[in-house]
Amino acid sequence: MEKEKALLAVGEGDFERRVLESPQPAFVDFSAVWCGPCRSIAPVIEGLAAEYANRVTVATVDIDDNPRLAAQYGVRSVPTVMLFAGGDVKRVFVGARSAQEYRAGIDDLLH
């Protein structure tokens, strides 16, 4: 059995189960392959996924492949990162941010 990756690619079919019903906070990066800033923060997101493994669900959603999710959460610009807890959006970051800003948001949810 393959070890589960720290960074999950989620979509309309598994978003509810993997993000909204997650027993731990979830960090969700709404992005697109054509988005330069999304590519620039991808290593930051991967690093956070490894750093917070087993404490935070870190996921990415491709808005082109999952337009209903993007519309449901009002994503109008990418990258947009949303922090979820208990199935609710707790914080939104629009545009590329630093690892420190994302970390501060995650740490607020964990404490």
- Phi (first) and psi of residue 25, to 5 degrees: -55, 155
User: Average pLDDT, whole number, for the chain?
Assistant: 94
3-state secondary structure of 31: strand
Nearest to 60 by CA among 76, 36, 43: 43
Residue 4 has pLDDT above 60, yes or no: no
Nearest to 96 by CA among 25, 28, 44, 53: 44
**pLDDT, position 83:** 98
Residue 110 has pLDDT above 80, yes or no: yes
Enumerate the β-bridge partners of residue 92: 82
**pLDDT, position 6:** 83
Residue 81 has pLDDT above 80, yes or no: yes
End-to-end CA distance of the chain: 33
Q: What is the pLDDT of residues 15-61, one digit of tens each?
A: 999 999 999 999 999 999 999 999 999 999 999 999 999 999 999 99
Q: How far apart are CA 29 and CA 83, in angstroms?
A: 9
Q: What is the pTM of this model?
A: 0.93
The DSSP element (H or E) to which 12 belongs, if any, is none
All structural domains of the chain, each given as residue ranges with its CATH number in brackets, are: 7-110 (3.40.30.10)
Q: How far apart are CA 65 and CA 86, in angstroms?
A: 25
Residue 79 has pLDDT above 80, yes or no: yes
- Residues labelled as active-site residues: 35, 38
